[in-house]
Structure 1
Amino acid sequence: MMVSELFTRIEKKHFDNIYLILGKEEYIQEKVVKAFIECIPEEERAMNISQYDMEVNLLTDVLGDALSAPFFGERKLIIIKRPLFLTAESKKTKLDQNVDELVNYIKNPEPRTILLFVAPYEKLDERKKITKQLLKNATLVESGYASENDTLQEVKKTISRNGYTIEAKAYELLQIRTEGKLSLIMNELPKLFLLAYKTKVINEEMIDRMVARTLEQNIFDLGKLVLSNKIAVAIEMYNDLIEQHEEPLKINAILIGQVRLLLQVQILQQHGYAQGNIASALKVHPYRVKLALQNSRKYSRKALSEKYAGLVKLEEQMKSSQRDAGKLFQLFMLGYFSEKK
């Protein structure tokens, strides 16, 4: 089910017993949670709305709550956040969740309880019995990354509602600094509103001043230098990142991911995939795909493959030897980890 369809059903008071909100877009998830909360009369919310964090709370407590009747109300709402037990990452938590209890509840839910799972993950582990049962019985609502146009419309609407405007170049820079992610943009707006309080116009200088560059953006610039074989400048920028106490393996992992994305985008585009289809197929934010499409045209598949292989060998050297990371990166830039070496 699309989020827009869910909002329509909520407005009409058409509810199912179990919902699963899946995806990485926190802003959309928060809107969904707020819409469900507003369905419970304000005077009943204290007694008939519960929230549980599954990295802290036990499923046994959640289900005990779910099975109890609403307190002087028509229905109760139980919000279950971070259900890590639905993913392949569940071993990271120390809590031992009794998922068999949940499987039994899903098969026979309490009719006056709305169970809302908020899963901020790209995917679930569908090999698990509990995940299979939930996907079979719950109403799945995907809160994946918003499209570029949907993001623009949502941001403009929020800015206008607060009595502000934003210049075109300012919005472009805001997109770059937040990688086009709606949740990150919305988190930055309150600071920008304060800065633009007198003029009511958000300009490029305000974005540059208030919205910091991320490590990924710095490494994106490094990646362009690497792919363009600008050896001296790339080595200088790499050393600057190391001096800023960035981890060499983390830098390399991000570089590998960037080059891999360029390769994937290039291949899928050659097979006739459009930008939106590529984002869906790779489960990557549409803005990252847009940038990758723009940049992948500058490089041949052979060049990208060679750089990718070299970065993988660089990572192997970093993990297996005691040599200085800066020296190893220099060797990589000089071609010592290429196929012919």
Structure 2
Amino acid sequence: MKIIKFRERLGTAVPEIIGYDNFLKSLDDEIIYPVYLFCGGEKFFLTEAVIRLKGALLSEKESQWNYVELDAEKIDDKDLFSELIAVPFFGEKRILIIKNSQKYFGSESKASKKEGEVIEEYFDRINSSCTVVFIMDGKVDKRKKIYGKLLEKGAVVEFLPLKGKNLTKWIGDQFNAYGKKIEKTAREYLAAGFDDLELLKTEIQKIVLFCGEESSMVTLEQVKEAVSRTQSVNIFDIIDAVGNRNSSLAVELVREMLAAGESPVFILYMISKHLRTIFRVKSLLQDGYSEKQIVAKLQLHPYAFRKIMEQSKNFSMEDLKKILRLLLKIDLMLKTSSVNSKLLLEMGVVELCL
């Protein structure tokens, strides 16, 4: 295992930010940096990366003693210093995970001057027995001195959400891992319906179990049936009802989903996301974009785009502007008002469909 102390020692220029795939490749090549900054919006890949790094450096027994997670918001400069210089216990390597590291690397840094100095000094005298992973939310401030110093000794790994063909390919790969193939329309259906990869992976496992060993090709019909069995009311049925301005069906489905324990805020978020997409599609059409250009620009799946195009006929641009203002109002009331949130959502859905 090669522990890289300086980026230049790789022999070639290393990009400032590498992606998840390149991170995995570096592990396969047995190249481990002494310090990482993990950032980006795809938490599923970030979690997988931590698991893979842990597996590359520590045995299961060693992990009990030499894998440490800290919250940057809950430690001071003294705690930080002692953890950075700590040596492994009953092992050769140690992994230190520091969550909420936007405190140090974010554009709205809240770190004390002393904490910044502790990290900068650590970068000057790396603890070779420890791999440190700073995990942050939000945007990295690349102007910071601390960021430049990290790049001299380590790597920044950005975990970007999968979209378009990359997402449908990932779905296909997941089914391949179970020895199955999946129809293109079925891949597009799943890609259009799930933003959360963790949830999507769970649904794929359920679909595989539903199809059984005899079925090697997963069809769209099987996917729809398997997904509907795992959830009596699908959020996408609600979205379609609102998109078709069918208020009675939309309210009925919302009530069922609320009764099943779903959050009003989540339901409103998904409805808002769909209606904002319809607004953007109509706006681009008015600006002269072709359907092919819109699909590429918004990174929509063909299955979702066809449905959005059909539903967009139910709204004028003026309708959508009023609806988007209403959605903001409902969202604010859900989060700040003492009014019954379920009743508020139902009334809002009725008004959206008028």
What range describes the TM-score normalised by the shorter chain of this pair? 0.5 to 0.7
Distance 1:190 1:80 in 2: 31
Distance 1:198 1:13, change over 3 A: closer
Distance 1:175 1:326 in 2: 27
State the Cα distance separating 1:22 from its structure 2 match: 1.8
**Unmatched 5+ stretches in structure 2:** 1-17
Q: Is the 8 A contact 2:65 2:89 kept in 1?
A: yes
Q: Tell me what 2:14 maps to.
A: none
1:102-181 equivalence runs, <5 A:
103-109=117-123, 110-112=126-128, 113-119=130-136, 121=137, 123-124=138-139, 126=141, 133-134=146-147, 137-138=150-151, 139-168=155-184, 170-177=186-193, 179=194, 181=196
Distance 1:197 1:64 in 2: 53
TM-score, normalised with respect to structure 1: 0.67
1:31 pairs with 2:48:
yes
- Aligned identity (percent) is 16
1:220 pairs with 2:239:
yes
Query: What residue identity is the alignment partner of 1:149?
Result: K
1:65 pairs with 2:83:
yes
Among residues 308, 332, 346, which one is paired with 1:295 in the alignment?
A: 308
Distance 1:165 1:266, change over 3 A: same
Among residues 203, 206, 213, which one is paired with 1:191 in the alignment?
A: 206
Aligned CA RMSD, in angstroms, stands at: 4.7
Q: Tell me what 1:101 maps to.
A: 115
Q: Is the 8 A contact 1:19 1:140 kept in 2?
A: yes
Distance 1:214 1:328, change over 3 A: closer
How big is each residue's C-alpha offset from its partner over 1:55-108, in whole Å with a ceiling of 9 and x where there is no partner? 8974655542321234586643223345574699x9xxxxx9878435522443
Distance 1:20 1:327, change over 3 A: closer
Distance 1:133 1:197, change over 3 A: same
How big is each residue's C-alpha offset from its partner over 1:155-203, in whole Å with a ceiling of 9 and x where there is no partner? 33343333334455554444455x1543322223443444444425345
Q: Is the 8 A contact 2:189 2:303 kept in 1?
A: no
Partner SS for 2:322: helix
Distance 2:122 2:344 in 1: 57
Q: Is the 8 A contact 1:21 1:118 kept in 2?
A: yes
State the Cα distance separating 1:52 from its structure 2 match: 0.7
Q: Tell me what 1:2 maps to.
A: 19
What is the number of equivalent residue pairs in this alignment? 315
Among residues 189, 198, 208, which one is paired with 2:227 in the alignment?
A: 208
Distance 1:271 1:49 in 2: 59
**Unmatched 5+ stretches in structure 1:** 91-95, 280-285, 336-341
Distance 1:87 1:216, change over 3 A: farther
1:79 pairs with 2:92:
no
Partner SS for 1:146: coil
Distance 1:10 1:247, change over 3 A: closer
Distance 1:334 1:39 in 2: 53
